[in-house]
């Protein structure tokens, strides 16, 4: 196993992919960033910018951009996969003949495969078994990371030494990764916080006030914790950066695509118009229904997530969802 992971491939030409490429550069790594769009790769090489996804931000770091997937991973000691969660299986098919045995593949999107309910690491395990499935998550906005603002995240792998070495390889004065072997906890926290951020955004958009927003965040965390525990996540992971930390950030800022999605719902925009092609991706819209299905499977009560799933599907109005949540049978807070 490499002790430094010197050569990093970042797969994804969007804002988060570019931000992580910059973070790896600042940690002293040699970085190749793959983008589907040739113009994005050209802008990264020629202009040290990604105007389509990070307008107004330029950098001095040297990232090699390419739209050739084989070129991107040919020398990679580790791969950061920063493509949408629902395209993970497709990406595994493309990477299968290209990835060397024992290469860490770090999942940087946050979601659950909508048509199967698999965590993304399970998709990697099945379709790209020669790779070591890892995940990166935590309270981090792409623009902040790209600008070099202080950020802390969690990197998870079932192989603890791999998580430790990846954390060292990506650490810099502005980017602090913590390592864990609780891959389930990191993935569950990252996926479920997106669903709950939609609820908080909808509350704000509907004019329900800061108290409702805080209540949804706190009770949403209770739901996340219950399902996480049922799936095998550790409590300390869910209360850490990739769970509670990410939830608080995502449930409180319009920089979050999921919060902004909920905000638009609360202001009266139709759900189907928000998931139409060309709209900014909100992973929580895909993860909500499968999260509820998992909750049902494990006997976990998740009323907020269930309400989000129904509102996103156009089956329930925000007014009715609020009424249902506020008139549920009372219970002790620990439950």
Active site residue 331: no
Catalytic residue among 193, 280, 320, 331: 193
User: Is 298:231 a contact under the CB 8 Å cutoff?
Assistant: yes
Cα 299 to Cα 277: distance, rounded to the nearest angstrom: 35
E-assigned strands of the chain? Answer: 7-11, 30-34, 63-66, 78-81, 104-107, 132-137, 151-157, 175-180
> 23 in helix, strand or coil?
helix
The pair of structure tokens assigned to 324 is 């249902």
DSSP 73-109: HTT-SEEEE-S-GGGHHHHHHHHTTTPPTT-EEEE-S
| CA 98 – CA 95 distance, rounded (Å) | 5
| Per-residue DSSP letter, 32 | E
Residues facing residue 66 across a β-bridge = 34
Please give the Cα distance from 170 to 168 (Å, whole number): 6
Per the structure block, which two tokens stand in for 100?
A: 């060397």
Say if residues 220 and 247 touch (Cβ distance below 8 Å).
yes
User: What pairs with residue 191 in β-bridges?
Assistant: none
Cβ–Cβ under 8 Å, residues 194 and 258: yes
Q: Which residues contact 70 (CB under 8 A, 6 or more apart)?
A: 98
Residues pairing with 116 in the sheet: none
- End-to-end CA separation in angstroms for the chain: 44
Catalytic residues: 193
């Amino acid at each position: 196993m490499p002790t430094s992971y010197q050569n990093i491939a970042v797969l994804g030409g969007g804002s988060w992919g570019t931000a992580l490429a910059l973070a790896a550069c600042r940690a002293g790594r040699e970085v190749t960033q793959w983008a589907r769009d040739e113009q994005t790769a050209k802008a990264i090489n020629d202009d040290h910018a990604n105007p389509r996804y990070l307008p107004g931000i330029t950098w001095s770091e040297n990232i090699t951009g390419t739209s050739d997937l084989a070129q991107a991973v040919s020398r990679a000691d580790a791969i950061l996969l920063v493509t949408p969660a629902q395209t993970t299986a497709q990406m595994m098919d493309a990477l299968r003949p290209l990835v060397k045995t024992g290469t860490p593949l770090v999942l940087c999107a946050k979601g659950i495969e909508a048509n199967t309910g698999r965590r993304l690491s399970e998709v990697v395990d099945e379709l790209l078994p020669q790779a070591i499935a890892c995940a990166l998550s935590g309270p981090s906005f792409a623009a902040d990371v790209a600008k070099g603002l202080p950020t802390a995240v969690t990197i998870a792998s079932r192989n603890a030494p791999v998580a430790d070495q990846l954390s060292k390889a990506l650490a810099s004065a502005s980017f602090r990764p913590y390592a864990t072997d609780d891959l389930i906890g990191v993935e569950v926290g990252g996926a479920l916080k997106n669903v709950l951020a939609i609820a908080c955004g909808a509350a704000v958009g509907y004019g329900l006030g800061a108290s409702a927003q805080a209540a949804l965040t706190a009770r949403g965390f209770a739901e996340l914790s219950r399902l996480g525990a049922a799936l095998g996540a550790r409590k300390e992971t869910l209360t850490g950066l990739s769970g509670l930390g990410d939830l608080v950030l995502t449930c409180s800022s319009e920089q979050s695509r999921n919060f902004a999605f909920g905000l638009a719902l609360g202001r009266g925009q139709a759900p189907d118009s928000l998931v139409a092609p060309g709209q900014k991706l909100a992973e929580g819209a895909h993860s909500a229904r499968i999260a509820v299905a998992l909750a049902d499977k494990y006997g976990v009560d998740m009323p907020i997530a269930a309400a989000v799933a129904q509102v996103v599907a156009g089956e329930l109005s925000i007014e009715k969802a609020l009424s249902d949540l506020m008139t549920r049978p009372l219970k002790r807070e620990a439950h």
